[in-house]
Chain A
Amino acid sequence: AQTVTQSQPEMSVQEAETVTLSCTYDTSESDYYLFWYKQPPSRQMILVIRQEAYKQQNATENRFSVNFQKAAKSFSLKISDSQLGDAAMYFCAYRTSPYYGGATNKLIFGTGTLLAVQP
């Protein structure tokens, strides 16, 4: 079974600085998808960025980028120029590729990292 580990329960960053959130995962599959979701106090999960495992190029969305190291099974999130609105819980998630068949399209989540942004 696949597992996702986020080893940093809490992180803090100064406004305008850069912070990196860690995520590692365990899988025997070679094709899969990885996601970072943000959950603010409103509870609504919002997709931040996603990566397909067979693509070597790291995904980037504005101030958010990932460092995807497939061999190391690592998928870290870098937030540049941190803003007060970035304060939230961040979840890393894994999803199996349909290539492997089966019926599931579920997301497997890590335990989350609570990010505080200091003014």
Chain B
Amino acid sequence: GAGVSQSPSNKVTEKGKDVELRCDPISGHTALYWYRQSLGQGLEFLIYFQGNSAPDKSGLPSDRFSAERTGGSVSTLTIQRTQQEDSAVYLCASSVTGGGFDEQYFGPGTRLTVT
């Protein structure tokens, strides 16, 4: 079946603009995660959804970052007033239930470049 998809694949934006990144998880997966991969910080967790609620938002780096999930499916990560340090690859993952041993299936990521 279809895997996790993300759009756009690449995004170039000017500093100060807002961007929206989209994630389509595997159908039926209740858990959804966002991670950020950057040269300076490595792979870091941003937020975790179980259904439409986000029990763990601890990784969001500032209040410029927000995310939502609707219908227990698609999720959007929004970055307001982008800064150059936001440049990174944003990875989305989903898993069946979110249980500890659950495999997280990753999407191909969105490469964000802030100029």
Q: How far is the CA of A85 from the CA of B109 in the complex (A)?
A: 21
A96 contacts B42, C-beta separation under 8 Å:
no
Closest to A45 in B: B106
Interface residues on B, range: 20 to 34
B: which residues have CB within 8 A of A?
31, 33, 35, 42-45, 48, 55-56, 58-59, 89, 91, 93, 95, 98-109, 111
* Known contacts A44-B109, A104-B58, then 14 further A-B pairs from the complex at CB < 8 Å, ordered by chain A residue: A33-B101, A43-B89, A44-B107, A45-B106, A46-B106, A47-B103, A47-B104, A50-B103, A91-B43, A95-B100, A105-B33, A106-B33, A109-B43, A111-B42
26 residue pairs from A and B, CB less than 8 Å apart: A37-B106, A43-B91, A43-B108, A44-B107, A44-B109, A47-B104, A50-B103, A52-B101, A91-B43, A95-B100, A98-B99, A104-B55, A104-B56, A104-B58, A105-B31, A105-B56, A105-B95, A105-B98, A105-B102, A106-B48, A106-B59, A107-B35, A107-B104, A109-B43, A109-B44, A110-B42
